[in-house]
Amino acid sequence: MKKIILSISIIAISVSAFAQESKSEDELKKELGAKKASISALEGEAAAIQAKIDALPGWKKGVFGTIGGSIGGFDNWFTQASPNNSTGTIGLSINAFANLNKEKYFWRNSLNINLGWVKFDDKDDSTDDDSFQTSTDIFNISSLYGYKLSKTFAVSVLSEYRTAVLEGAFNDPGYLDIGVGGTWTPIKDLVVVIHPLNYNFVFSDGESMYESSLGAKVVADYTRKIGSVSFKTNLSAFLSYEDSDFSNWQWTNSLSYTLWKKIGVGFDFGLRSNKQEAFNAQLLTVADPETFKLENADNKLQSFWNLGLSYAF
């Protein structure tokens, strides 16, 4: 009897396995679609719970960044001007924030660093520089305090410092903005700062010529994480009341997409306009520096981008 029961069980299991294997492609696709729908529903529920957590008062902290790089070499590649050369690029960006949100006030702090190096070594030219040269050098840190008058508007104080950090360029020039005004938060993760009373301190060394001035400060920042995507865009502009040539603005963007665990792909892009920087750079190349004036400077748009691997902390 036991042998009969065992034989029947084996046959039943075999038939079931065969039935599973014999399912049509359409049936399997329907099963897969149902599973994906279940996963999407669970992800939606998890996102809703996370949104409730993010809305709770208290500190919210985060860091994400991008590391990009490449190296290359050519030997006897005669179709180019330098047939024997070695090249390389390195890029690094870090975005960090620490925000405190209370019923009556908020305190938002952020750090943005973008660094890049590039190398081109012509092996047939013994006089060229074969080291890595700085290509991108940005260091920004800001602190914004606001006292809430409503859910979307607050009176605020902003302190923002911008400079470069490589090759002895720290604080040469350096920009420190201190001002008061209002902050508007129309939607979650978007912060718009409008400070009509702001002083732009500019620091420099040596023969550089920069002017500090009184003006208005405008900042728009949107930082968000949706699933595997971390995104930040920041526009910071100073509008001088004394001379439009003293005005400046910078727009930076960072995007990080996690592919596996904490590793993914990152992309950074930035634009900047600063006539005082353009003037001091061109001052070193003009024939007659004594007669060269700020209004004569060619204020070309500055830009950078970096694509590479990213790591989410």
N residues, the chain: 313
Q: How confident is the model at residue 78 (pLDDT cuts 50, 70, 90)?
A: low
Query: pLDDT at residue 103 above 80?
Result: yes
For residues 152 and 28, which has the higher predicted lDDT (pLDDT)? 152
Query: pLDDT at residue 279 above 80?
Result: yes
Nearest to 175 by CA among 153, 149, 201: 201
> Which range, of 37-51, 56-70, 103-117, 284-298, averages the lowest pLDDT?
37-51
pLDDT at residue 90 in the model? 86
Query: pLDDT at residue 35 above 70?
Result: yes
pLDDT at residue 21 in the model? 52
pTM for this model (two decimals): 0.75
**Phi and psi, residue 78, nearest 5°:** -75, -10
CATH 3.30.70 fits 61-312, yes or no: no
For the chain, give every domain's residue range. 25-56, 61-312
> Which range, of 12-16, 91-95, 235-239, 288-292, averages the lowest pLDDT?
12-16
pLDDT at residue 11 in the model? 55
Query: pLDDT at residue 20 above 60?
Result: no
Residue 289 half-sphere exposure, CB side, CA atoms within 13 Å? 10
pLDDT at residue 194 in the model? 97
Give dist(CA 272, CA 182) in Å, integer.
Answer: 24
Average pLDDT for 81-92:
83
CA-to-CA dists, residue 267 to 32, 94, 197, angstroms: 33, 12, 34
pLDDT tens per residue across span 177-187: 999 999 999 99
Query: pLDDT at residue 42 above 90?
Result: no
Q: How confident is the model at residue 264 (pLDDT cuts 50, 70, 90)?
A: confident
Average pLDDT for 189-205:
94
